Amino acid sequence: MIDIRALRDDPERVRASQRARGEDETLVDAVLEADARHRSALSEFESLRAAQKSFGKQVAKATGEDKQALLAQAKQDSARVKELDQRSAEAAAEREGGLRRIGNVIIDGVPAGGEDDYVVLEEQGAPRDFAAEGFEPRDHLELGTLLGGIDMSRGAKVAGARFYFLRGTLARLELALMRMALDRALAAGFEQLSVPTLVTPETMEAAGFLDAHADEVYRLAADELYLTGTSEVALAGFHAGEILDLSQGPRRYTALSTCYRREAGSHGKDTKGIIRVHQFQKVEMFAYVRPEDAEAEHERMLDLERGMLDSMELPYRVIDTAAGDLGGPAARKFDCEAWVPTQGRHRELTSTSNCTTFQARRLNTRERDPHGSGTRMVATLNGTMATTRWLVALLENHQQADGSVRVPEALQPYAGLQTLEPVTR
């Protein structure tokens, strides 16, 4: 959540952020009003408590009627202290509840608006002209079927709609992609972790995944645990409640995990193939950095994502995501979207978010303040290195007229294949 001190100091900045997100800016005033009530009640409580201590000495020395009068006054003061304590606690709870409903304050320059209001920052590569090559491109599901590599019907039989089996060379290609992504992250200084994919409600909420998107998360009610839709959740919770030493630089972690998403509200969208599914593989990056270094770290993650896409020889673009499409924890998000020929449009393959101190404040992850005494919150960032969805872009962009698919040169050593060939079964 955002810092209450920043809200007090510059409420208009938070209001402007809420407007840009298309969210309720009156929350700002509600939080400030609850904060004022809390502080007023707390101040009176502390003053009365201090007076009670000296008053106790007078009672001890008094005798007779004077003592009885003082005792009656002490009883009234005690009731008042209890009332003020309760009022302060209630106002604080109201303030905290309001703060949790306010999204992270966006960074200057983030486009206002919703999903379609992004700004294209750059485009790399040019889409293939399949007409000039003399054939109509097949979509990824048709190609996957020809290759004997995507089996949606058996996935549905075993687990229901939007589940699938990857088989043979396509299963190998997915694993090769994940291994390459991990190697790139490790070479860039990230430490690999194997993470839980079930987490507590406290961890899920603190990472920011039970706010506006709780209906997209799988919940195991009997165990009071949640299945994670990204290893970002576990990586965010890794240092919860700790004081980190960032004097030697950021703490960087990467993880390959199976991810689960209910895709609530997406009925009728991308029902064909493996673009929008309930389970997939993903290699995630996560970094804990000093707040003043967060924007530079964000660019570094974006460069790593660009490098992966360049190595996959995919035409893509980078967009600056609009405020209303950021999600609560992110102050800025860059997406890399690859061209999908049969859809005639770009589709998201990677996303990297600068969450500033929003997650760390909920998780109480701090560092020794290098500019003064005490501690301060760290900044957290996350980014995607690869997901199963990449297979969609790889298949469609590197297909050949005979239904075979060329494996990008950089991926060939990991896959042990140069070409995926159609099979007959």
Those residues whose C-beta lies under 8 Å from the C-beta of residue 227, and which sit 6 or more positions away, are 197, 198, 217, 218, 219, 220, 260
Report the candidate in 414, 386, 416, 378 with the shortest Cα–Cα distance to residue 3.
Answer: 378
Annotation marks residue 389 as catalytic: yes
Annotation marks residue 351 as catalytic: yes
- The dihedral through the CA atoms of 396, 170, 261, 24 has a sign that is negative
Give the SS3 label for residue 376.
strand
Q: Which CA distances in Å does 209 have to 27, 114, 216, 341, 363?
A: 20, 19, 9, 33, 13
Residue 315 tokens read as 């035409």
SS3 content of the chain, % helix, strand, coil (to 5): 45, 20, 35
- The dihedral through the CA atoms of 367, 373, 376, 378 has a sign that is negative
Report the candidate in 342, 275, 376 with the shortest Cα–Cα distance to residue 127.
Answer: 342
| Residue 380: its H or E element | strand 379-387
C-alpha 193/C-alpha 111 separation (Å) is 34
- Decide the pairing of beta strands 191-192 and 251-260: parallel
Contact by Cβ (8 Å): 243, 366: yes
**Catalytic, out of 276, 306, 368, 406:** 276
Per DSSP, the residues of 75-114 read HHHHHHHHHHHHHHHHHHHHHHHHHHHSPPPPPTTPPPSS
Give the SS3 label for residue 420.
strand
DSSP state of 316: E
142, HSE (Cβ side, Cα atoms, 13 Å): 11
20, HSE (Cβ side, Cα atoms, 13 Å): 25
**Catalytic, out of 361, 367, 389, 396:** 389
**Catalytic, out of 317, 351, 353, 366:** 351
**Catalytic, out of 348, 368, 404, 406:** 348
Per DSSP, the residues of 170-200 read HHHHHHHHHHHHHHHHHHTTPEE----SEE-
**Catalytic, out of 261, 317, 332, 362:** 261
The catalytic residue positions are 261, 276, 348, 351, 389
